[in-house]
Amino acid sequence: MTCAHLDQIRPVRPNSRRCEECVAQGDGWVHLRMCLTCGIVACCDSSPNRHASAHHASAGHPIARSVEPGESWRWCYIDEELV
């Protein structure tokens, strides 16, 4: 299946090297993801707060990429698959 949300990817850059929401709460995270529509960096679903998923739910931005060193895979939250 071809993801129908690829057109929502923008030429963004990351807004931070950390999950700012976790930092504000005093929490930690496991891995970081970046929204490919707006560039916000947030924590992954294996982190306690799951801020990247929360960002998708609130902003509706569909695709995020990993910003872990050496990783470049992208995930569509709507199709629930790598794109």
Partner 1 sequence: MRETESRLVARRLARLHDELVDHAVPLPIDTAAGRLLLEEVDYARFPPVHEGRIPPYGAIVSFGTRPQWEKLSAPTKLMSDDIDLTLLRSLADGRSSFVVRGTGGKQGIVIFDRSLESEASAARLRAETGAFVVQRVRDGLVRVCGPDGVVSWEGVEWRFKPLAEQHAAQVRRVVPQLDAEVLAGLMELCVHWLSAGQVGATLVVALRGPARLLHYLDHSAATTPPPLSVACRDHFPALRSVLAQRDRAVLVDPDGTVAALDVGLSWSDRADRMVASVGGMRHTSARRFSFEEPDAVVFVVSQDGPATVFSDGTPVTEVRADPCLSGFPLARLSAVDPDRDGETTVTCPHCERVLLVDQTRFEDWDGGPERLPCPVCGTTLSLDAYRSAIRGVVKP
C-beta of 61 vs 83, nearer to partner 1: 83
Min CB(70)–partner 1 separation in Å = 3
Q: What is the token pair recorded at 64?
A: 């995020």
| Between 10 and 71, CB nearer to partner 1 | 71
Nearest to 47 by CA among 66, 27, 76: 27
Please, which of residues 39-78 interact with partner 1 by CB under 8 A? Answer: 44-48, 66-73
CB hemisphere CA count around 8 (13 angstroms):
21
* Centroid of chain to Cα 9: 12
Q: Is 8 in the site for partner 1 (CB under 8 A)?
A: no
Residues that bind partner 1 (CB under 8 A): 13-14, 16-17, 30-32, 44-48, 66-73, 82
